[in-house]
Structure 1
Amino acid sequence: MPGALAYVDGRTYTAGTAEIGSGRPMVDADARFRLAGDTKAFTATAVMRLVAEGKVRLDAPAGGYVPQLAQSPVTVRQLLKQRSGLPE
């Protein structure tokens, strides 16, 4: 990753560049930037921690946790494996 942004106790910290090789500085807290696939591992780790704590079940319908998916048969496991068949 070319840069990082962290929000801790009401303060925003940035480091690195916004794009490899460009020298363009990392954005501030109010700017937008593309995350692409970088967040998938972090999201999966957070969900698996909830699974370990018994707060989320992998084979449960994702709609029980994500209201926008209430009518979908997709499971949490399928979302994590990117096998849900849902469009982006």
Structure 2
Amino acid sequence: MPATPLTAEVLAALERVGCPVTTTDLMRLLNDGRATPLVVDQVYRAANALRARGAVRRLSNPSNKRVRYWEAAAEPGSCSCGAAQRGAS
């Protein structure tokens, strides 16, 4: 279970999206309609805490090693958006 309201929001957003997203895209999604915007570091720390608990996976893109993607761990391989990221970490 998520330990903070932000980790709960991050997990819910990843489950809602259903496809791997970057930290920046996740931040933009979470900031939609938010009075006090989040910064990328906050979202990364929350996603990384969820990864440590096994709730989300971090994926890498073979064509760009610097970009990392996040996806909810509950539904592996259920992405229908055509994302081709591999290499969970």
Normalising by structure 1, we get a TM-score of: 0.30
Normalising by structure 2, we get a TM-score of: 0.30
Q: Highest CA radius of gyration, 1 or 2?
A: 1
- Structure richer in strand, relative to its length: 2
Higher RCO, 1 vs 2 (CA within 8 Å, ≥6 residues apart): 2
- Structure richer in helix, relative to its length: 2
